Chains A and B, each alone.
Chain A
Amino acid sequence: MSELMNLTARALRDLVADGTVSARELTEAALQRIEAVEPKVKAFLTVTAESALADADAIDVRRAAGELLPALAGVPVAVKDNMCTTGTRTTAGSKILYNFVPPYDATAITRLKGAGAIIVGKTNLDEFAMGSSTENSGYHTSCNPWDLERVPGGSSGGSAAAVAACEAPISLGSDTGGSIRQPAALCGIVGMKPTYGRVSRYGLIAYASSLDQIGPFGRTVYDCALTLNAIAGHDPKDSTSTTVGVPDFTSECGASIKGMRLGVPKEYFTQGVSADVEAAVRAAINRYTELGAIVEECSLPNTEYALASYYIIAPAECSSNLARFDGVKYGLRTKELAGHIGLSEKTRDEGFGTEVKQRIMIGTYALSAGYYDAYYKRAQQVRTLIRRDFDRAFEKYDALLTPTSPVTAFKVGEKADPLEMKLADVCTIPVNMAGLPGISLPCGFVAGLPVGLQIISKPYDEVTLFKVAHAYEQSAEWHTCLAKL
């Protein structure tokens, strides 16, 4: 493989800036790597070779003109296919959008381009980001670069696999209940979900609007911080995007964590966490003590109720968000015309997959007359309790340490029961319910498969999150391990 593609975004950016490598050479290296490993990994739904090379040439022209280049100039990036890209098909992993070509860019895409990043393609996902393995994709299942018979996790499985397979140094995903952190853990890379509202959701095809958040993948903590620098900040086109100022998220990477207080919520080790995963995570937690942090066990007593309340709230929002797919304005339209209502019902039956239909129906049911108080309202009250648990913990601790996923990557087809699949997100869901920032980074291997450590911090305190993550990363060597393909 081209040695270039083993490097971090930070290193590549510097090579382009000082003229050692042109943006075109780097983009060609990425496209060659993609061509070489895609038959095995299947991370992408669309590779945008032509526009990537044109964008790279534009960067090279700017450099030749003596312009000061932006922070990610020339760096190849892969983007989850639920973010709109002008002129490039955007499917959300669904057959219902098999032919949708957006007339506008998502704000995160606009900002990536503004930072000089080169978009090399759109990555696979579980349909409408509903799933934990990419097996719910309407197109294909992506493979885990560490073991091709296993899933990369999901829903942003393609974005995670692409970075783990060195097809791109960084990528974007979206995280509603763990869809960035869980695949990062299963693919042995870093994946970060910012505070709700940090990154504009404009142009992100909605799943559950009060939970969805765009965030970065990278092979290092620093690369994720660098990417978040590029995409974060208020956007008038998303009224839920925060007006809180954007700091330099890399500013504390490398700072000492001596004396910091870290909590270890005991409930996160009881919910089906395998003994091997627990051992790797506990070893990482011990490392924090060695690094000078004050580590204590703590409790988030309502954790066990997070999963049930999530599977009411997220489907309720999805049932509303996905009502727009009706065969009229864009996407699939059934060939069997049968009046206005029939057109919509038939199109939706043909276009949506099994899991998406299931979530639309459970959401519709939870919101329907007579059940609203028992389900939806109660789930929102439980959400308040979950948030209060975290608020209380953060009075005492700077950050919390937990496993990301209770298990390592599972085999394709192994979790055939949809309920069992949903339990894979038990450690990540509470973070979305409370709107907090969270990160997963590699903390070891079990039988050749990566294990992820999750760190959670206070709202808008991503700087601390990156600082705590970076300290552990640099004390270990997991981030230098690459999957052999």
Chain B
Amino acid sequence: MRRALGVVLAAALVAGVALFVQRPDPVDAQGGGTVEVTVTYNGAPVVEKLKVNKDTEKCGTEAVIEKVVVGGNKGLANAVVSVPTAKGAPKMAKATVDQHGCKFVPHVTAMTPGDLELKNSDDILHNIHTYSTANPSINKAQPKFKKVMMEKFEKPEIIKLTCDVHSWMLGWVAVLPTPFFAVSDASGAAKIENVPAGKQTVEVWHETLGKQTKEVDVKAGQVVKVGFEMKK
């Protein structure tokens, strides 16, 4: 009897250790590669200017709407770069958009499904009016005394963000199915770290120039560079 119990306990111990050892690795800093993307555009920047007659103390007298921002070396800014095939835990960092100087700052915000913090650091009435299909659209005033509003976006989608009080204001919220994303900076560069190794698809989206995808092979601990040239 005692011997049988001993065998059972030993077997349990072995099984437990084996399970522990076999437990899949958490997706963390160890084991991924880096994807460095450069987004370029050969065309001219598209900037619209509009004379402003409303809330001029905060908005100024001229609004500048930059739809296509081209920097040094033809780098395209505000492009959302993501690796939709890579799965992982959602980012902990909170996504935030501020209405500042009658502009959405940043112009393009990328996030995983969850909460978006909407701030109004101007001392005037703004409005969050989103246009989307998968997520319910939002049309809410954000008066000056409501400095922070939280909205939830649960489904991956590219959402257009406008303000009806200041109709030149335009922003974008890219709700992505993957935590592996970045938004290209003024030089068109975007770096995504710790992408799981293997064959992945990299996708670039721009508000007027559309979407492009490329296949890459991500190797652990290495940097893979990808270039995208956006076309009209």
**A, B co-complexed:** no
A residues lining the B interface (CB < 8 Å): none
